[in-house]
Structure formats: structure tokens, C-alpha cells
Chain A
Amino acid sequence: MLELQNISKKYEGFLLEGINLQVATGEFLALLGPSGCGKSTLLKIMAGLITDFQGELLIKKRKLREIPVKERRISMVFQEALLFPHLNVAENVAFGLKMQGVAKKLRMQKAADYLELLELPGYGARAVDTLSGGQKQRVALARALVMEPEILLLDEPLSALDFNLRQNLQGVLKKLHRQKKLTTIFVTHDREEAFYLADRIGILEAGRLKQLGTAAAMLAQPQSAFVASFLGERNILAGDFLAGGLFRSREFSLPTSFTKTGAGYLLIPNQAISITQKAKNSAGEKTGEIVDHYIRNGLYHWELLVEGERLTYRNSQLLGDWGLGEQVGVQLDPHQVLYLAE
């Protein structure tokens, strides 16, 4: 459906470089990255709002530059709702239809239909400044969808909303996507949002696409420390891999089965860790000192100091009533740790 070939663009302060990407019809792709990584610029390029870029952008095998704007069938929703303040809700939704010359009666009917689809029935006559933030964003979505686009671009449309509203609208988006099977590209800096919504995720760092794949595949094998940490991994240690597979980072060491040597990162996923009451001289067991413990996202978290490195372990069970400074036994399964080159 949508194909990006070697897209590059110089932009104030950063560079989009050599972005290659294919989006299938009906796919929901999330572009995930910290602010300033170029993801919004990339989206504007896809929308045809930025045209002075290198590389090629194809929609259904046609070059975007050669498709007249009216035939592109791309809609976009921005971080702000950007509703036209001088128009009421229905007129906002019907704006694009009016530009196409659709008769007033028909376009108002369609606007009402889409407002109903977005759970805002009867809001048509309201002034836009009477709406809440979430309602405004839903009107903006209705305004984009009423055009019946083939591609929907979403530029952090939920990031200005508070937590509960965001979750609610995430649900709305997911339902809509399942209903309409719209090819959707969603830019966000919130990995949970990307995990929840997207079929595939592309991670951007400083203008480069670092990794592209399903959330599960990326979590199973992230390609860099940046990707791993952006996906939420906490235990990424920088160090050296020595001959024979030994990983060493200052005081910390762990035998692994990796054959690569030299500087690199060791990723210790949560499932590679287990902690127990401190036992004496158990083989392969390390000593960890509890430096913090708390509950987050419904999981018990322990932060441990193990051979000078701080590791985080989480579990749905309260494993023990350990206080700060107490020592516990830590087992690290060398078969479940991952090697990251960069």
C-alpha cells in the first residue's frame, strides 16, 4: 500500500536518513521514538505536507508526488485537534466534503453518521470550544474519517489527553481499525500505546529507523540497547565479552554461551532472573542487596544491587517481605540473557 524508499530529509537540528519501510493494506503500524527523533516529520512526508525530501514515496506503486492531492485519500489527525473555531462540530466534520462540493444535506448527514460512529451523537450543532479535549480529538478523527481515506496518519493524537481518556480513545481507535481495516500509521512516544494498537512497530532514533517488527519479535530479540530500553527493558549492562563467553562489567561477571567478543551490552530480561531467600554457597547464586521496592502496573518490583550493578526484577507475587538493605539470593539464567552489539 505504502512504500518508503530511502527517504532522507535534512531538518532543523536533525536528519532523517535512509528510511525504508513498507506498510501493507489494512495494517496498523506504530512509529515509536522519543521526541525529536523525526517521527512527526516522517509522517508529514507521508502526508505530502513536506515535499522537499530525497528518496521515493509510493502509494499503491504510484509516486506520491505524481498523484494529485485530491486523489491521494490520505487523512491525518494531529496532536492538537485543530478544529476550525469558526465552525460548529458538524461543519468541522463536513469540511472536507464541502471542499469536494458535496451537497449540504448529504454532507451534514454523513457528518452526523460519523459523529455517531465516534460516540458523539447529537453533538453536531455544538460550538467546538464547548467540547472537552477528548471530544475534540474524536471530532478531529470524525473529520478525517468522513473523507473515507485509504491511509490514516495519526500524529500523537492522544498524547495531550489524560491517562483514562487516553485509554478510552485507544479502545475507540482499535475498534475503528478492526471495523474499517484502514491502513493506519500512528506516531507515538508511548510504547504501551504502540503495543496495544499496532500490528507492527518501527522504532526511530535520531532520524533512523532502528528496528521494525511485531512487539513480540522485538522484545524477543531487540537489535540494540536503545531499542531494548525504549521497549521497557531495565537491565541492560555495558561491558566486555571475553573469550569463552564470559561477560564482565566492572565487578559484575556472568558466564554466557555467546561466541562474540569485545565491547557490547548484556540484556537480562526479567524471566532470566529469580530471587530467593539468601542461601549459603549455592552454586551460581549471586548476592543482591535490596535498594528499593515498590508496586508499579500491578507488579511487585525489587531493585537489587548485584556485584555493583543495579538490576530490576518484577513479579506478580510478593515473593518475600524483604526490607531495604536486606540481602537475597539472585539467580541469573545464562540461557535467557541476550547479547546486544550496540
Chain B
Amino acid sequence: MKKILVSIFIGLIIGVSLLTMVLLVLKSMSLQWNWPQLLPRQFSGRAWQYVFLEEPKTLTAIVNSLFIALMAVIINLMVGIPAARYLAKAKVKYRFLMELIIFAPVIVPPFIFIMGIYYFFIKFGLTESYWGVILAHLVPTLPYMIRVLMVSFATLNDDYLNVAKLLGASRLQRYWFVLIPRMLPAIIGGSALTILVSFSQYLLTLLVGGGEILTLPLQIYPFLVEGDNFVGAVYVLLFMVINLGAILVVEKVLKVYANK
């Protein structure tokens, strides 16, 4: 009985997702699609042509989104690995409190922390710059990275590092040749989450970037709200492909590095 319910539930999720994809594809290829038509009457490549050939901002938005997500992944790894190790391994007083502070950005409503960041970034002159946006993207992504890494660290036997140390590995070598390869599944997971969350930041990028830094969500939003949502459909598909592609590429790169 439980099994059947689970199957139905999973089936529903997959079904709805696939249906949405199909509708998006249909929408992006149609000229007009009005209620109560079940299927569009006329098809056209207009929206696709607009997005890929006529609108130069598409490429800018893709490059910016990728660049910002990639930088967020790199910085998150550099900050997150030592932080997670400390939180998972060291005898930390008030560990719960420290975790709570780190996870606060994903617990409190986004608007609250975004306004806080905005206020401080204006004060420190960090708005309207790439680094400002990248820095801002760390806030909602780092908690996920640290969480995933912490679980992995908790099950890591420190004697692996002791072995490496006795075999003459320096601190950096121990990180590079032992710790990171062993933590790879968690690193991939944390990186994927970082990309995912970074990609979907709208308000944060809009405010901190001051409209100067164009990412995919910023480019898509107007089309979905009031503009041409045939173009919007193309952008949504593009967003999904790029997002998934970025995650797969990062995973592949990390795996290749680990096996070398």
C-alpha cells in the first residue's frame, strides 16, 4: 500500500514536470495560443529567433549567470570546506548557535536578509559591481554548501589525514590529495546546490547589481510578467538547459580532477 502511494506520488511529480516541459515547448513554438484552444493553431520560430538572434542581451545574461554561479562555487568551496570541517569536527561551544547563524539566510524570509545586504552593500560601495553580486550570492548558497560538507566531514576518519601527514604530505597536500578527493560526492552536491540557488536569485541580483549586472532571471522576468510570454517560454527552457548543463559540467570537471 505504502509502495503504491509512493509510486503514485512520484509518478505525479514526473508527470506534471513533463507536462510543463511539453507545454513550454509548445508555447515557445507557437504564434498564438488563446483560451480555450487545447493546442496552438499556428506555429512559428519567432520567439526562438528573437532570443537567439535578435536580442544581444541573451548572451550577456547567460555569461553573467554562469560567471557569478561559478565564482560562488569556488568561493563557497574555499570558505565552506574549512568552516564545515571546523563545525563538524572541533569541539565547538554553542555549535547549535553557530549553525543557526550560518543557516539563518535560508531560514528567514529572503526579503529580510536581502534588504539587510542591500543596506550594507550600499554603505560599503559594493553595489553595481560583479564582486558585489558574487559576494551577495554567497549568502543564500553557503549554508547549503556547509550543510552538505558537514555531513561528509562527520563521517570522515581523521586518521586518513594523519596517515598522509606521516607520509610527508604538507597541509596543502593533505587537502589537495586526500581530503578533497574523499569529500568529492559532498563537494559535487554542494556545488550543484550553489549553482541552483545562485541561478534563481532575482531580487538579490536586481538590488545589489543595481540593474547593471544582467543575469538570466533578470532578463526573463519582464517577459513573464507582462511582455511577450512566448519569448518568456524560450527563456525558461534556456534557463533550465543552462542550469542543468552547468551542474553537469562542474560535476564532470570535479570527477576528472579526482581521478587524475
A49 contacts B181, CB within 8 Å?
no
Q: A86's contact among B157, B162, B259, by CB below 8 Å, is which?
A: B259
Which residues in A have some Cβ–Cβ distance to B below 8 Å? 44, 47-49, 69-70, 74-76, 78, 80, 82, 84-86, 95-96, 98-100, 143, 147
Q: Which residues of chain B from 168 to 192 have a CB within 8 Å of any chain A CB?
A: 168-170, 173, 177-178, 181-182, 184
Residue pairs across A and B with Cβ atoms less than 8 A apart, 12 shown, are A44-B162, A70-B168, A80-B157, A84-B181, A85-B182, A86-B184, A95-B169, A96-B167, A96-B169, A99-B177, A143-B163, A147-B168
Instruction: Verify B165–A84 contact, CB threshold 8 A.
Output: no
Contact with B159, one of A48, A80, A143 (Cβ below 8 angstroms): A80
Residue from B159, B168, B181 within 8 A of A69 (CB atoms):
B168
Q: Are B169 and A99 in contact (CB under 8 A)?
A: yes
Contacts of B259 on A, CB cut-off 8 Å?
86
Across the interface, B167 reaches (CB within 8 A) one of A48, A80, A99, namely A99
Answer whether residue B120 sits at the interface, using C-beta atoms and an 8 A cutoff. Answer: no
Given contacts A80-B157, A82-B160, A95-B177, whether A74 and B182 have CB atoms under 8 Å apart is no
Determine how close the nearest CB of chain A comes to the CB of B126; give it in whole angstroms.
39
In the complex, what distance in Å separates the CA atom of A82 from the CA atom of B170? 18
8 tightest Cβ-Cβ pairs between the two chains A and B: A96-B167, A86-B181, A99-B168, A99-B169, A82-B163, A76-B166, A49-B162, A96-B168
B167 touches A143 (CB 8 A): yes
Residue of B nearest to A140 (CB): B163
**B residues near A80, Cβ cutoff 8 Å:** 157, 159
Q: Given A78-B159, A86-B258, is A100 in contact with B168 using a C-beta cutoff of 8 Å?
A: yes
Q: When chains A and B are docked, how far (Å) is the Cα of A328 from the Cα of B178?
A: 65
Residues of chain A within 8 A (CB-CB) of B159 are 78, 80, 82
Measured CB to CB, the closest approach of chain B to A189, in angstroms, equals: 18
Q: Which residues of B contact A47 (CB under 8 A)?
A: 162, 166
6 further interface pairs, Cβ-Cβ under 8 Å (given A99-B167, A147-B167): A78-B163, A80-B157, A82-B159, A86-B184, A95-B164, A147-B168
Closest to A75 in B: B166
CB distance from B16 to the nearest CB of A (A): 39
Q: Which residues of A contact B178 (CB under 8 A)?
A: 84
- Give the distance in Å from the alpha carbon of A171 to the alpha carbon of B173 in the complex: 35
* CA gap between A238 and B121 in the complex, in Å: 78
- Residue in chain A with minimal CB distance to B163: A82
Per the bound structure, the CA–CA distance linking A44 and B166 in Å amounts to: 11
Complex formed: what's the CA distance from A96 to B160 in Å? 13
Contacts of A82 in B (CB 8 A): 157, 159-160, 163
User: How far is the CB of B195 from the nearest CB of chain A, in Å?
Assistant: 23
CB distance from B187 to the nearest CB of A (A): 12
Chain A residues with Cβ below 8 Å from B167 are 75, 95-96, 99, 143, 147
In this complex, what residue of B is CB-closest to A49?
Answer: B162
CB distance from A51 to the nearest CB of B (A): 12
Q: For residue A99, which residues in chain B have a CB less than 8 angstroms away from its CB?
A: 164, 167-170, 173, 177
* Residues A76 and B163 in contact, CB atoms below 8 Å apart: yes
Quick one: given A86-B259, A99-B173, are A69 and B165 in contact (CB under 8 Å)? yes
Bound form: Cα–Cα A239–B13 in Å: 78
Of A47, A48, A78, A147, most B-chain CB atoms within 10 Å: A78
Chain B residue, CB-CB nearest to A153: B166
- Measured CB to CB, the closest approach of chain A to B111, in angstroms, equals 43
In angstroms, Cα B177 to Cα A69, docked, is: 18
Q: Nearest chain-B residue to A96 (Cβ)?
A: B167
Distance A130 CA – B198 CA, assembled complex (angstroms) = 40
CA A95 to CA B169, docked complex, whole Å = 9
Known: A95-B167, A147-B168. A84 touches B184 (CB 8 A): no
Cβ–Cβ < 8 Å partners of B163 in chain A = 76, 78, 82, 143
- Closest CB of chain B to A146's CB: distance in Å? 9
**A85 CB contacts on chain B under 8 angstroms:** 182
